[in-house]
Amino acid sequence: MWVIAAFEAVTETETHPGLLQVAAALELIHTYSLVHDDLPCMDDDDERRGRPTVHIAYGEGPAVLVGDALLTEAFRLALSAPGLQADQRVAIGLELAEASGYKGMIGGQAADIGLAGPITNREVLERLHRGKTGALIRAGCRLGGIVAQANEAQLAALTEHGEAVGLAFQLADDVLDAEEDAGDDGPPSFVKLLGEDHCREEAENLYREGLSALEGFGVKAEALRELATYTIQRDI
């Protein structure tokens, strides 16, 4: 969604022959992260969206392999997308690697399971979630811009939007999960550090920051605005 919406914000062209493959690649990485996140060595979840998680349905070994396959297929899919120039392919590969690697999602997950020690302040928690959750939203915005051949200013604006909305997403998510995550054994959350009211306020501020970054795109960025609105208003 983010990839396609960002592409639409930049260009007058209705579509691009490689756009869906690049967008699908990011979704594959997201799905891989959920499969691995549910494993007993991580969050140890038995259900995902009301259905058995992959390791419950098929076993832990197959779940690890499913995640690995999704991640590697994501790069194959993105880098083989038609209609891209060589420099775009390089930029897309680097973007996916950074968002999914130690600087992004994996780094955030490492902090989440305690490899960097306990989460005791907002700065550390924010860094965790900018990696674990925000990096993929940021990457989605940038990938759409790369496919659309955005200029430097446009790509910077998309990056600013993605970073703000990515963190707003997690703040809103923590509010939704406040009751489930309560207690010392629950995961670190903004609600625990800031309180629910402050979380809502911060999410709203980031939402407005994200919208401000899109001012230069005019009506072409309406899909991005709608995604941002859903991010903080959703109830699931």
pLDDT score of 129 = 87
> From the CA atom positions of the chain, what is the Rg in Å?
18
Tell me the backbone φ, ψ of residue 213, rounded to 5 degrees. -65, -20
* Selected residue with higher pLDDT from 164 and 202: 164
Do the Cβ atoms of 122 and 154 come closer than 8 Å?
no
Residues of the chain with pLDDT > 70: what percent? 95
pTM attached to this predicted model: 0.93
Average pLDDT over residues 10-23: 94
Can you read off the two tokens belonging to residue 16?
């691009």
Residues forming beta bridges with residue 52, ordered by sequence position: 47
Task: Identify the bridge partners of residue 48 per DSSP, sorted by sequence position.
Answer: 51
Q: Kindly report the number of other CB atoms within 10 A of residue 26's CB atom.
A: 26
Locate 176 and state its tokens: 């939704």
Q: Give pLDDT, residue 184.
A: 64
pLDDT-based confidence at 228, cuts 50/70/90?
very high
The pLDDT of 136-140, averaged and rounded, is 97
pLDDT in tens, 98-117: 999 999 999 999 988 888 78
Q: Element (H or E) spanning 110, and its range?
A: helix 105-112
Query: What is the distance of C-alpha 173 from the center of its chain?
Result: 13
Exposure string over 167-181, b if 16+ CB within 10 A, otherwise e? bbbbbbbbbeebeeb
Q: Is it the case that residue 32 has pLDDT exceeding 80? A: yes
| Lowest-pLDDT choice from 36-40, 146-150, 231-235 | 231-235
